[in-house]
Structure 1
């Protein structure tokens, strides 16, 4: 009889990826904003991307993040505070403002963000990647997305 095996301990990553969404967004907006924000994190940190996937039929699929992405939500004030905290720390940040819902291309998206002073951005989401403890401090007060 074989001895029972102990399942491996969950892997604990030194860094964390967190997406913080404003709690008044429509469902389609939450999904859209999340997709855009994590694309920024992946482009800034290619080491976060794992190897391509392959199924038993030898079909290859694109690689994805090697670690989980936490999706959180908060009110507008907490989102603004998290942005301010993130700017003062050594983390990668991507932002999505309400203006980006009205633009139709990448150039207009960048122009819309560029036109607004940092402290006046109407943030609807942000994503951060950095050391776990810093990301926890930045997103303090936010709750897990339902």
Structure 2
């Protein structure tokens, strides 16, 4: 088996909502497992039954975004020290993804246009505070 890297993100109470939103924007298959559905033995904490234990969005292009709810408090989300990078199939595809994120309450913070390296690039924060870097060759 070849090792891979994928994204795992945690929100306090709405990770499932974020994964559902990203499925609407990027497509793919979504699997969600709440703590109430999980068959777990003893845990070092007492999670609410409806909290997300584990979710996986398998994108049509093979990428993965996974996540679960933070039980012990809110973590800082909005920052520019990291971003999710989406490599669009085309400039039109990149523009369409940004438009979907903005239409759902996001904010385009760097205009999607030709970059110095020749492709197109832009940045948008979604309604959950996650920065998406969108790139297209």
Same fold (TM over 0.5): no
Higher helix share: 1
Which one has the largest radius of gyration? Answer: 1
With the length of structure 1 as denominator, give the TM-score of the two structures: 0.30
Higher strand share: 2
Structure with more relative contact order (C-alpha pairs < 8 Å, separation 6 or more): 1
